[in-house]
A and B are shown apart, each in its own frame.
Chain A
Amino acid sequence: MPVLTGVSFRLSPGQGLVLRGANGIGKTTLLRTIAGLQPQLSGQIAGAGERAGYASHADGIKPALTVAETLRFWADLYRTELPADVFELFDLEDLRDRPAGTLSAGQGRRLGLARLAVIGREVLLLDEPTVSLDAFSVKRFAFFLRDRHLVRGGIAVIATHIDLGLDLPVLDLTPHRAALEAQGGSDEAFL
């Protein structure tokens, strides 16, 4: 069933975009579709695909692996080098050798976000990245986004309710909510 219609945007290197809209409007669906995890009913998505890195609200952390092992795994999987300052950047220096299972929710979230600094993707698709982060960690994450990612020509599409203090353009999805009688979707054949 169609969720959103008429959504269109174009981002140049160094640009970010914040997605807004009530719960259930389709922010996650939009991000997952751009990431290639589900097909769009119609329309085109260009430039993401192999260049995109996706982060959902689940961090995919394995309790049995340490913080350093977790980040090393993602670096190996993406065939990138582990940036030297990634632990400092996300305030994980003291936690390096802690099993991820012993981290608090906020610490785990920082580890999940640190993955984004490791995988070296130009287009970051972030679904509620700041959930369970304290104000200080939000500032650090905003610093990473602005001074480590966007400034180097990266692109970010962020679904979030809070203000990251980055002064990014906002796309409100509310007007794009698919009309009730919108065409498309697998149920349509049966109506």
Chain B
Amino acid sequence: MRALLARDLRLAVRAGGGFGLGLAFFLIVVVLVPFGVGPETAILARIAPGILWVAALLAALLSLDRIFALDHEDGSLPLLATAPLPLEMLALAKALAHWITTGLPLVVAAPLLGVLLHLPGEAMPWLLVSLAIGTPALSLIGTFGAALTVGLRRGGLLLSLIVLPLYVPILIFGAEAARRGAEGLPAATPLMLLAGIGLGCAALLPFATAAALRVTLR
């Protein structure tokens, strides 16, 4: 599993790997929001947690179709499937690689963009924690969606359609935790619910992903 993870990370940072695209997209969406809603500090500060969460979610969505599509096109997927690595672990490695190349940079960049949106200082740790807990779940769900749509024409659009409704609970709890943090309310409950969903995804979704991969490999 470590070998596959290392390969995927290496591929992501090399030329053409698309590393940083998600981050740039995140930045652009956040920069566009004030143009849309106006520059008033109070309004921006109020909607900042939600904007950052939605933007992070869209940025994570952007790179999902690359998770399996490239391996499918160049024929790696059947070769990986016949390797000693179980498909469930393959799914987990792929999700982890996606999180490290997409989710983690978003978490790191979020405070910076929070400043742009006048996010109150006391909300910053809550936003960071909620993103750090929530984005791995986004990657896991996305990997599942990517496995369902491997090799389909216009798979990318279909992938968004399938994955976005699945993102709803994570978005709700994640943004709620950040918002409560911003308003000085106790935010532990949504954070714990978010963590529960994340752990559930990590425990169960690789099996669903592997089942989908077995079908698409047929």
Residues of A within 8 A of B (CB): 32, 35-39, 50, 52-65, 69, 73, 76-79, 115, 119
Q: In the complex, A83→B78 CA distance in Å?
A: 23
Contact for B78 among A32, A39, A62, A77, CB less than 8 A: A32
Within 8 A of A (CB), among B74-96: 74-85
Secondary structure call for the A interface: loop
Among the listed stretches B4-12, B31-39, B145-153, B154-162, which one makes contact with chain A, having 4 or more residues with CB under 8 Å of it?
B4-12
B218 touching A37, Cβ below 8 Å: yes
Among the listed stretches B14-22, B130-138, B196-204, which one makes contact with chain A, having 4 or more residues with CB under 8 Å of it?
B14-22
Chain B contacts for A61, CB-based, 8 A: 74
B4 touching A60, Cβ below 8 Å: no
Chain B contacts for A38, CB-based, 8 A: 217-218
A54 touching B82, Cβ below 8 Å: yes
Given known contacts A76-B3, A77-B3, A78-B84, A56 and B11 CB-to-CB distance under 8 angstroms? no
Chain B contacts for A78, CB-based, 8 A: 83-84
Secondary structure call for the B interface: helix
A56 touching B76, Cβ below 8 Å: no
B75 touching A59, Cβ below 8 Å: yes
Contact for B17 among A56, A59, A60, A64, CB less than 8 A: A64
A50 touching B84, Cβ below 8 Å: yes
B7 touching A56, Cβ below 8 Å: no
Interface size class of B (residues with CB under 8 A): 20 to 34
Chain A contacts for B79, CB-based, 8 A: 54-56, 60, 115
Chain B contacts for A57, CB-based, 8 A: 75
- Of all chain A residues, which has the CB nearest B14? A64
How close is B74's CB to chain A, nearest CB, in angstroms? Answer: 5
How close is A69's CB to chain B, nearest CB, in angstroms? Answer: 7
Chain A contacts for B17, CB-based, 8 A: 64
Q: In the complex, A53→B81 CA distance in Å?
A: 10
The residue among A57, A62, A78, A115 with the most chain B CB atoms within 10 A of its own CB is A62
B82 touching A65, Cβ below 8 Å: no
B4 touching A62, Cβ below 8 Å: no
B3 touching A73, Cβ below 8 Å: yes
Taken residue by residue from 174 to 217, chain B's Cβ proximity to chain A (1 for < 8 Å, 0 otherwise) reads as 00000000000000000000000000000000000000000001
User: Besides A37-B78, A115-B79, 13 other CB < 8 A contacts?
Assistant: A38-B218, A52-B82, A56-B75, A60-B71, A62-B7, A64-B11, A64-B16, A65-B11, A65-B14, A76-B2, A76-B3, A77-B84, A78-B84
A65 touching B7, Cβ below 8 Å: yes
A62 touching B11, Cβ below 8 Å: yes
Given known contacts A54-B79, A58-B74, A77-B84, A37 and B217 CB-to-CB distance under 8 angstroms? yes
A56 touching B78, Cβ below 8 Å: yes
How close is B147's CB to chain A, nearest CB, in angstroms? Answer: 15
B10 touching A69, Cβ below 8 Å: yes
Chain A contacts for B76, CB-based, 8 A: 60, 62
B71 touching A63, Cβ below 8 Å: no
Chain B contacts for A58, CB-based, 8 A: 74-75
